Amino acid sequence: MELIDGKSIAEGIKKEIAAKVAAIIDAGGEPPHLAAVLVGDDAASQTYIASKERACKAVGFTSSVYRYEPDITEKKLLEVVDFLNNDPDVNGFIVQLPLPKHIDADKILQRIKPEKDVDGFHPVNVGRLALGLPSYLPATPAGIMLLFEKYGIETEGKHCVVLGRSNIVGTPISLLMSRKAKPGNSTVTLCHSKTVNLPEITRQADILIAAIGQPGFVKADMVKTGAVVIDVGIHRISDDSEKGYYICGDVDFEQVAPKCSFITPVPGGVGLMTIVSLLLNTFKAYNAEIYPKQ
């Protein structure tokens, strides 16, 4: 069994980005600028935004965070999106989810200009992804594809079973895995809460991607010997340790790891790749790679 070291891959990519940014600055240019909109005080969102800020600083990007109280109106938030859409100094921005219940998240995400939508959640970017056209890929699925690439894991002709059909992970990764590309060219089965005989399906997986939000859900008897297992889940579980919690994924690592050819640990696997993918998307926005300037 080989552990997929997301941490070292992420650090390597960040170094490459940092070198490119340094060259831009040396040549008298402005660094790429990634902005984020954060509404309310959701702990997981605060943590994600703080890591995004740290990652931007590490590679030399400009980073800004627009913070709002949870009672901000939808109208005001749409104005914030419009402002960032039109700010020439901002190359790309994200609106951190979840948003408070009184705000229609789809309406907000659809207001972001596709060329600044570095989270890749706008219908235009999702549509382009589905059609195999260049687009900003959602950060977590893009990070997983980078791990396959960096580890030289063959995906062509493999049966890939994806657990979870969310718009941010399950659905886009299933599209990417089935795309006519390398990595890609897998035969994909997408499972969800209405799937029957789930263990029977997961046992057929050469590549199993778990993104269901259920701690330790995937057990050894659900995995084929020699499978590649990608664990997207992140859970903070309270315990008696000094920290008061431990972090785990959707896979029961202790049970499953010995059966795998490759497996991502949690933490230290997919999570760190997510922010790196966001940085890469921001760089693409800076270079107008996906949507060339007219």
CA distances from 141 to 41, 56, 172, 176, 190 (A): 26, 20, 7, 8, 14
Q: Considering only residues 9, 72, 94, 191, which one is a binding residue for ligand NAP as defined by CB under 6 A?
A: 191
Part in contact with ligand NAP (CB under 6 A); list of ranges 35-43, 166-174, 218-226, 278-286: 166-174
Taking the mean position of all CA atoms in its chain, how far away is CA 100?
A: 21
Strand pairing report for 245-248 and 235-238: antiparallel
| Least Å from the CB of residue 32 to ligand NAP | 21
Q: Are strands 235-238 and 2-3 parallel, antiparallel or unpaired?
A: unpaired
* Residues within window 210-269 making contact with ligand NAP, judged by CB under 6 A: 211-214, 232-235
Candidate list 5, 117, 119, 250, residue with the active-site label: 119
CA 136, 141, 147, 152 torsion-angle sign: negative
Contact 34, 21 (CB under 8 A): no
Among 33, 52, 165, 179, binds ligand NAP (CB under 6 A): 165
The answer to whether residue 270 forms part of the interface with ligand NAP (CB under 6 A) is yes
Question: Backbone phi, then psi, for 245, in 5-degree steps?
Answer: -160, 165
Single out the residue of 271, 284, 290, 291 in contact with ligand NAP (rule: CB under 6 A).
271
Give the nearer residue to ligand NAP in terms of CB position, either 147 or 257.
Answer: 147
Could you say whether residue 55 binds ligand NAP (CB under 6 A)? no
Is 52 one of the catalytic residues? Answer: yes
Minimal distance, residue 267 CB to ligand NAP, in Å:
9
**Does residue 194 interact with ligand NAP by CB under 6 A?**
yes
Ranges of H-type helices in the chain: 6-26, 43-59, 74-86, 105-111, 123-131, 139-150, 170-178, 198-202, 253-256, 270-286
> Looking at this protein, which amino acid is placed at residue 92?
G
- Nearest residue to 20 via CA among 282, 273, 292: 282
Query: Which residue from 166, 178, 185, 287 is in contact with ligand NAP, where contact means CB under 6 A?
Result: 166
- For residue 130 the two structure tokens come to 């589905």
Does 96 qualify as catalytic in the annotation?
A: yes
Token representation of residue 292: 């060339």
Hey, which residues between 139 and 158 contact ligand NAP (CB under 6 A)? 140
Site string for ligand NAP, 13-42 (x = CB under 6 A): ------------------------------
- Point out the residues that are catalytic: 52, 96, 119
User: Interface with ligand NAP by CB under 6 A: which residues?
Assistant: 140, 163-166, 168-170, 191-195, 198, 211-214, 232-235, 270-271, 274
